[in-house]
Structure formats: structure tokens, C-alpha cells
Amino acid sequence: SNIIRFTNLPSEAVTIRIFTVSGSLVTTLRKEGSSRSLDWNLQTSNNLPVASGMYLVHVDVADVGERTLKLGIINRRTQIRAF
């Protein structure tokens, strides 16, 4: 399965935004509740698989702060059959 798990998150509400290096928003993930992790299925907000490459991850925690991380993804070969 193609999943990335963000771990060691605080128990507060967390918003994770994933961008391409050119600044286009790929998807937005939100965590509510006391869970300390959040899974991403490597799909865009339009349910398309992401391409291999570098991405920027912006983690925003309400009333705590924010952080920007770099993320490299290497996917297996993917063929999209629906256009």
C-alpha cells in the first residue's frame, strides 16, 4: 500500500498542507482528536496519484506553531487509465 504516516504529532488539532516545490497545493490533511499520527494515501485532493519528486510539507498546529519540511517520494510506476 502507498501510505505515508506523519507521526509524533501533538494531541491538538493539526493541519498538514502538501505543496509541490513550485508552490502548487497538492492536498490538505486535517487531524482532530488525540491521535498522534496521520496517514496520507499519496493522492492529490482530486484523487490522483502523486508523482515521484520533492514536496514541501507545511505542518500547522493550532496555538502552538508551524513548521515546513521537505519530503521526497519515489513511486513505483503508475499508469492512469482514466482521463
Task: Answer yes or no: is pLDDT of 1 > 90.
Answer: no
Predicted TM-score of the model (pTM):
0.87
> What is the band of 82 on the pLDDT scale with cuts at 50, 70, 90?
low
| Among 62, 4, 65, 14, residue whose Cα is nearest residue 35 | 14
Q: Which three cell numbers stand for residue 51?
A: 508523482
> What is the band of 63 on the pLDDT scale with cuts at 50, 70, 90?
confident
| pLDDT tens digit sequence for 4-56 | 999 999 988 999 999 999 999 999 999 988 899 999 999 999 999 899 999 99
CB 57 within 8 A of CB 16: yes
CA distances from 42 to 17, 19, 45, 63, 64 (A): 13, 12, 10, 28, 26
